[in-house]
Structure 1
Amino acid sequence: MFWKEIFALNHIIILSIYGQVFFVLGLAIFLQSRRHSRLKLARDLRWLALFGILHGMHEWGQVFIPIQTDYLPAFAVTLLLMAQIFLLAASFAALLIFGYVLVDQPAPALHWLVTGLPAGWLLLALTIHLVGLDNPARVHVLTTAARYFLALPGSLLAARGLYRYSYLIADAHYGRMLRWAAWSLVAYALVAGLIVAPAPFFPANLLHRELLLDWLGVPVEVFRSLVGLVLTISIIRALDLFETEVDRLIEKMEIDGVRASERDRIGQEIHDGVMQGTYSVGLILDSMANHIDNPLASQRLLQAQQVLEQVILGLRRYMTSLRSHPPTGTLDEELMALIGEARFRSLLDISLEIDPAASVEKRSIGHIIGLVQEALSNVVRHAGASQAKVRLALAGDTTRLTIEDNGQGFVIHRVAEGYGLLTMRNHAQLLGGQLTIDSAPDRGTIVCVAWPQAERRHMKSLPTEAEARNG
């Protein structure tokens, strides 16, 4: 088999490619996966990323350590070999943990298995060190043990977890990519967990890398590289799921924002136009009652007044349904509930600081919540930030609310004022304060609203029905 000689001559290149495939797998996950995704898989994949990076470094060690043996003292070579072996074991341990965290409500036995296998390998490494085996024997025993007791169960457990998770995703394309990744891990369990260096015990005496090379003329590293390539492509394609999730979430927030603005606008127009006109008609009818002597006309006038009262009540109920529901809890509770919502918490690390000395009236809570909600929505949609801080503090006789992010910032005078900013200004005015925005490119954004303490402030409010009737 002529290709056997070709592979032998290019063994270093094969090892380099092998390491690169898995290193790219880990790097791609770290760069593309969303830490704040609502999907549990997004967090769990970090273990697979750690496996890829550590495993790639181990394979590169297969290339570089032999080169250094002619230049380094023996103890340094021994240290490098032990570091390489620990990289291999650590990578397989990360794969094992990845499979474990994919399991919903794992059984206690699985927990002990995931804990006991790495601990058993470490105990074996300590025993070999105490026995004092030479480097080749030490590398052989520890590598074989790592593949049998860490790589094999880790690959199968991770494959099972990904396969089951693929059916929990509504999008068929992403589910199919995860199933490809699952089957590639099953193949990896075979070529990396079962096919090891030959040894005088089962199953290494029956199934080993030299036997595969004799049968097919292809080194096992080629198969591991191909399996790793399929795994890498499948996972990278599946990572688009998190981008799609964020896009859909932002789109929904924008739609909800537009709908809320439209509801507020319609409610305000009904109040300022239709309601005021209806009240005026009612006053005119009331004034006519004393000038009509005809009993039938008086009866018709009374009926018209009753119908008009029903229309007014219906309009008020409709206006109430258009407005957002008023907050029912304390300011702390409402703010904690707001920043804990998945639309914000899944995309941002949000910290909350409330000065106990900052007293807030009950009717102010809704405006503060509206300000924070709109500010955080803008951070998610436009800032590209990873962190935000919401702070309510007392400065002298002034209460100050700030929402700060570490996003990309913007040039203030170049941004047109839209519904969101107008909404925040309206909330600030109703608090009796003013809205200021401080931002610059690459410096984040600070939204600040300051208003007098409750006892010094006169809140603006919509007139009641009685007030409107009295002019």
Structure 2
Amino acid sequence: MTNLDSFYNLLNINMPVIYFLYGLTFFTSGIVILVQYRQSSPFSFNKDLWLLSLFGIFHGLSEWGYLFIPLQQAYFEQNIIFSMYVVRSFFSAFSFIVLLSFGLRVLAITRLKSLDEVISYGFFAAWFGFSLVNLRYGDMHSLLLGDTVTHYFLGMTSIFITSLALFRQAKYGHKHLAAPDILRSEQALAISFFFYAFFEGIIVSQQDFFPANLINSSWFFHITKLPVQLFRTLCGIFILYYTLNLMGAFQRATDNLFLQAKEEALRLAERERISRDLHDGVLQTLYAAELMIESCQYKLGPTSPVQAEMQRSITTLDVAMHDLRSYIMGIKNEAIYHQPLSLMFKNIIDEFQNSYKITVDFNCLTDPNLQLAPNRQDHLYHIITELFNNVAKHAKAQHVAMHVKDHRHQLYISFTDDGIGLPKECLDPAGCNGLGMRHIHERVLILQGAISFDLPLQGGTLVVLAIPLV
């Protein structure tokens, strides 16, 4: 007997161990993700990891069923054993459904409310309907047939979609973050799921229909002399390893963001103190000095030879106080970028309505404490300010409506006015020569968002802006 034959015999003898490790890998992965899961994470990807945790737990339990249910045959009647296999099949299908939901959320192929749940429920309903019809025969053959269909219909679909979503997330999801470890972990996790889709969703048990009659676990063992469960276990280990790497990378990035936020808060508090001291101290002193010079002018009379020099001093003081007020406003404007979005929008609107006789209907459905990172909030501030400036300068409008909401880690803003409407050439970014419009599109691009301009039939201009919250 050769060493290779000894190895094959060792694998065959220890198949229960492989099944146990296979289930253990995914079950452990689900528990670890659940323990480390943080709903408060600023990263949208992290907020959906609870679905990946559910997949790991239920998939691990379903795979353990192949190991532990046969051990119960000596103690329970056949109908009870059959019911155990039915529950195992349900666990397997449910694990793939939650993985499909996770993949659809990360992929974000649509922004319609709860559409990914509708798709997931639709897949589950189709599988459930097939299972009811299939299980009426009540034998193990029908169970194996249903298990194969589950792997094809749910397993392969959900795992491939998750792999695609992770590839897309690695390419587009974190461009604004200088975090190569996140990028590498997402790419490696995507590759792991891709191979797992092949071994779990394509290499199935042998059946009488295509392609399971040609490409199946028996064919795979004949080609490789290795059980497919071994490769599934290896994929599971890689998925566990790179998921932990990814969560660690996100945690480090989150800690850096919180540290930056803390530093920004301290810097902002110091700038606020400086602006208050300048206003209450230096500015008031300059104003008092101007009043004293004016008082001297009055006492000396208009014929005094120093009147002209004193007037120049007053003018110089006026310029100095104007510059100082501008510096103070510059310091205070920076505070806008650290305010909740709803308050920032309200401040912009209040200033706009105080400057122009244009009414604004404002509706904000976001979390009252929702904020963006300071640099991203800065870009959003200038986008909204420029939209209001365009209304004031060009639209000849009497009313503006601004509606804000957040959904699925995206911020949506609709902005309409009842003015004369945007020139048609400005509906296309390439056709508009205005500097302000060009800056709007540049800032939206930096935010990795999307903006559209339209001319409603009732007149005016409709602007729709969508940007990721992280």
Report the TM-score, using the length of structure 1 for normalisation: 0.65
Of 84, 87, 104, the residue aligned with 1:80 is: 84
Aligned residues: 341
Q: Does 1:339 align with 2:369?
A: yes
Secondary structure of the corresponding residue to residue 167 of structure 1: helix
Secondary structure of the corresponding residue to residue 69 of structure 2: helix
Counterpart of 2:131 in structure 1 is 125
TM-fit CA distance, 1:97:
2.5
The answer on whether the counterparts of 1:34 and 1:242 sit within 8 Å (CA) in structure 2 is: no
Counterpart of 1:101 in structure 2 is 105
Distance 1:190 1:22 in 2: 17
Residues 33-432 of structure 1: pairs in structure 2 closer than 5 A:
33-106=37-110, 114-132=120-138, 134=139, 136-168=140-172, 169-170=174-175, 171-289=179-297, 290-291=299-300, 295-323=304-332, 324=335, 328=347, 338-342=368-372
Secondary structure of the corresponding residue to residue 83 of structure 1: helix
The answer on whether the counterparts of 1:3 and 1:217 sit within 8 Å (CA) in structure 2 is: no
Deviation string for 1:396-419 (max 9, x for gaps)?
xxxxxxxxxxxxxxxxxxxxxxxx
- Which residue identity does 2:63 align to in structure 1? E
Distance 1:227 1:299 in 2: 87
The answer on whether the counterparts of 2:181 and 2:249 sit within 8 Å (CA) in structure 1 is: no
Distance 1:268 1:189 in 2: 62
Task: Tell me: CA distance 1:67–1:43, structure 2 relative to 1, closer, same or farther (3 Å).
Answer: same
The answer on whether the counterparts of 1:26 and 1:50 sit within 8 Å (CA) in structure 2 is: yes
TM-fit CA distance, 1:17:
0.7
Counterpart of 1:422 in structure 2 is none
- Which residue identity does 2:10 align to in structure 1? I
TM-fit CA distance, 1:103:
2.9
Distance 1:176 1:215 in 2: 32
Distance 2:206 2:283 in 1: 89
TM-fit CA distance, 1:256:
2.6
Task: Tell me: CA distance 1:63–1:337, structure 2 relative to 1, closer, same or farther (3 Å).
Answer: closer
Distance 1:178 1:334 in 2: 34
Distance 1:143 1:212 in 2: 18
TM-fit CA distance, 1:111:
8.7
TM-fit CA distance, 1:56:
0.4
Task: Tell me: CA distance 1:333–1:61, structure 2 relative to 1, closer, same or farther (3 Å).
Answer: same
Distance 1:122 1:342 in 2: 42
Secondary structure of the corresponding residue to residue 339 of structure 1: coil
- Which residue identity does 2:316 align to in structure 1? V
Task: Tell me: CA distance 1:111–1:94, structure 2 relative to 1, closer, same or farther (3 Å).
Answer: closer
- Which residue identity does 1:228 align to in structure 2? G
Deviation string for 1:128-185 (max 9, x for gaps)?
33233x2x31331111111111111221111111111111123332122112111211
Task: Tell me: CA distance 1:292–1:275, structure 2 relative to 1, closer, same or farther (3 Å).
Answer: same
TM-fit CA distance, 1:114:
4.8
- Which residue identity does 1:255 align to in structure 2? E
| Cα RMSD, aligned residues only | 3.2
- Which residue identity does 2:84 align to in structure 1? L
Task: Tell me: CA distance 1:105–1:191, structure 2 relative to 1, closer, same or farther (3 Å).
Answer: closer
Deviation string for 1:251-300 (max 9, x for gaps)?
23223322221222212322343234324433443343324897432321
- Which residue identity does 2:106 align to in structure 1? L
Counterpart of 2:406 in structure 1 is none
Deviation string for 1:434-470 (max 9, x for gaps)?
xxxxxxxxxxxxxxxxxxxxxxxxxxxxxxxxxxxxx
Bigger shift: residues 195-204 or 82-91: 195-204
TM-fit CA distance, 1:73:
2.7
The answer on whether the counterparts of 1:41 and 1:102 sit within 8 Å (CA) in structure 2 is: yes
Distance 1:314 1:337 in 2: 37
Counterpart of 2:22 in structure 1 is 18
Counterpart of 2:400 in structure 1 is none
Distance 2:71 2:182 in 1: 43
TM-fit CA distance, 1:225:
0.3
- Work out which of the two has the higher radius of gyration on C-alpha atoms and give 1 or 2: 1
- Which residue identity does 2:127 align to in structure 1? W
Task: Tell me: CA distance 1:112–1:35, structure 2 relative to 1, closer, same or farther (3 Å).
Answer: closer
Task: Tell me: CA distance 1:31–1:342, structure 2 relative to 1, closer, same or farther (3 Å).
Answer: farther
The answer on whether the counterparts of 1:162 and 1:182 sit within 8 Å (CA) in structure 2 is: yes
TM-fit CA distance, 1:116:
4.5
Task: Tell me: CA distance 1:251–1:335, structure 2 relative to 1, closer, same or farther (3 Å).
Answer: farther
Secondary structure of the corresponding residue to residue 296 of structure 1: coil
Distance 2:213 2:322 in 1: 88
Counterpart of 1:372 in structure 2 is none
Secondary structure of the corresponding residue to residue 199 of structure 1: coil
Distance 2:25 2:55 in 1: 12
Task: Tell me: CA distance 1:314–1:139, structure 2 relative to 1, closer, same or farther (3 Å).
Answer: same
**Which residues of structure 1 form unaligned runs of 5+?**
345-471
Report the TM-score, using the length of structure 2 for normalisation: 0.65
TM-fit CA distance, 1:6:
0.5
Distance 1:79 1:237 in 2: 39
Secondary structure of the corresponding residue to residue 79 of structure 1: helix
Secondary structure of the corresponding residue to residue 76 of structure 2: coil
Deviation string for 1:304-325 (max 9, x for gaps)?
2222233233323333433356
Task: Tell me: CA distance 1:244–1:130, structure 2 relative to 1, closer, same or farther (3 Å).
Answer: same
Counterpart of 1:442 in structure 2 is none
Secondary structure of the corresponding residue to residue 205 of structure 2: coil
- Which residue identity does 1:7 align to in structure 2? L
